[in-house]
Structure 1
Amino acid sequence: MDKKNTALYFRVYESIRKGIESGTYAEGDKLPSERKLCKDFEVSRITVREALDLLEKDHFIKREHGKGSFVLGNQYTQFLNNLYSFKDEIEKNGDKASTKMLNIQSIEATPFLQEKMGLKKGDRVYELERLRLSNDKPLIYEVSYLPVALCEGLDQYDFNQVSLYETLNQHYNIQITNAYENLVASKLSKKHAALLNGKENDSSMYIERLSYIGNAVIEYTQSITGSNKYKYTVKLM
């Protein structure tokens, strides 16, 4: 993809994203058709589809075949009083926790990731894609982003065998000090349904996590789980 096309689809993406965040597009609203977006932004349909793909990936919209693109509901933020690991939570119930690493690669941080993680244009992040399993059954699909500058060489580790947090602690002297999670009800996409042994459009939970060392973001993770497989409980007092 050339730089001109990249700039074009990010311009469309940013405009729609800001419209959603400002309330111009409310929860449940249908976005203009691809044809109208092409006309409004004076771009090709390929460019519009790339922008919509990214909006769906970042969970601003849900695309329904033959119906259009719809704005997802607002997220809420819950402070985590206790940091937790997937392995610990699963094993508390006497179940077997495991991880299937699907991919890890170094990529240039997108404008979305720059904003989320406090990065600059040109900064690179590791994109770690994993499937988390309980008793060998897929439970959660996760994509984690970590700044290359803080953990260079992270892509050398086999996260089928080792814990991400333990690796950060033992090899980079990084200990997470606090974290926040955003949760929103969602629907399984075709891709996520296949990975989680579900059905397309099944109810799911989208979980967005930001983990910090001091004031710096060390990890940004997007997780998808079937709502009938995972329960999130908040202790209020």
Structure 2
Amino acid sequence: MDATNTSHASHLRREPGTALHRQLFMVLRDQIAQGVYAIGDLIPPEDALCARFDVSRITVRRAVSDLERLGLVEKRPGRGTYVRAGTRPSRPRPSFGLLESLDKQARETEVTVLKVETAPAPPAVAEQLALSAGTSAVHAVRLRSVKGTPMMVTDAWVPREVGQNVTEAELGKRALFEILMGEGVKFGRVIQEVTAVAADPVLARLLRVDLGAPLVQLVRVLHDRRKRPVQYITIHFTGERSRVLMDVPAEAVNTTGAGQIVHDLE
């Protein structure tokens, strides 16, 4: 499909903020996802993109390189740049429970343990874990990757009484939930919150994104069957590589299990 003359997002923002090549990358990425350019289609050549978006060749080349790095397009010498097959994955049927999905995640990613320590839990974390102010907890930070591509950074806090075996060596062999289950924890209620944040210098470096790039932040509090909070974890990932999939059963449609949007306004 030739989308050269479409009006979709043909103007990029010129004020300080997101770089022009990132804006162009996001426009083209979204058009590919929406099927404006189908699998096997040739995307517009550099000259056409320069004219359409009023940008330089360098800007266009950087945007297309970002698309190529994600596997969305491929350059064919002397022929142009084409949308790759398999760039729009089908939506799988969500058949996993939380523990099954955590197990699947652990099996399909490589883990790099960045930090394991026992330290006073930050006030917000202590409150969620029902700990007294200043109480120490086990803190573990990990990076999960797929074939060398960073996918997510996880920052977890666990009460000391259930986190005695949470060590760097153990986390290199087993997922955190498996270690806790080995300590006799039986998981029950889970509360999670999804928001958007900008990548700080540490997250930008670990996830290989631009400083200030948009990230998804998922905060999850896991409880045991006795309703005690046993894990507080913050997960950061880029929406360019990952997504959140939910399957809400019919009986949960009219409950908060279906999720809700909360507006933080005074």
If the length of structure 1 is used for normalisation, what is the TM-score? 0.59
Deviations 1:29-57 (A, max 9, x none): xxxxxxxxxxxxxxxxxxxxxxxxxxxxx
1:133 to 145, 148, 154: 145
Q: Does 1:98 align with 2:110?
A: yes
Deviations 1:170-227 (A, max 9, x none): 2x11121221210001221121111001111212101100000121110000111011
For 1:207, the equivalent position in structure 2 comes to 218
Larger Rg belongs to: 2
Q: Which runs of 5+ in 2 are unaligned?
A: 1-95, 250-266
**SS of match in other structure, 2:127:** helix
Superposition deviation, residue 158 in structure 1 = 2.9
Q: Does 1:222 align with 2:234?
A: yes
The percentage of aligned residue pairs carrying the same residue is 14
What is the rounded CA distance, in whole Å, between the counterparts of 1:120 and 1:113 in structure 2? 10
Q: Is the 8 A contact 1:181 1:208 kept in 2?
A: yes
Q: Is the 8 A contact 1:126 1:155 kept in 2?
A: no
More strand by share: 1
Q: How does 1:137-156 map to 2 (within 5 A)?
A: 137-155=149-167
If the length of structure 2 is used for normalisation, what is the TM-score? 0.53
What is the rounded CA distance, in whole Å, between the counterparts of 1:163 and 1:176 in structure 2? 14
What is the rounded CA distance, in whole Å, between the counterparts of 1:189 and 1:156 in structure 2? 25
Q: Which runs of 5+ in 1 are unaligned?
A: 1-80
Could you list the structure 1 runs, at least 4 aligned residues long, displaced by more than 6 angstroms after superposition: none
**SS of match in other structure, 1:233:** coil
The structure, 1 or 2, with the larger RCO (C-alpha pairs under 8 Å, 6+ apart) is: 1
Q: Does 1:117 align with 2:132?
A: no
Query: Residue type matched to 1:82 in 2?
Result: G
Superposition deviation, residue 89 in structure 1 = 4.0
Query: Residue type matched to 1:198 in 2?
Result: V
1:189 to 175, 188, 200: 200
Superposition deviation, residue 87 in structure 1 = 4.5
Q: Does 1:174 align with 2:185?
A: yes
For 2:248, the equivalent position in structure 1 comes to 236
Q: Is the 8 A contact 2:117 2:138 kept in 1?
A: yes
Q: Is the 8 A contact 1:203 1:226 kept in 2?
A: yes
Query: Residue type matched to 2:142 in 1?
Result: R
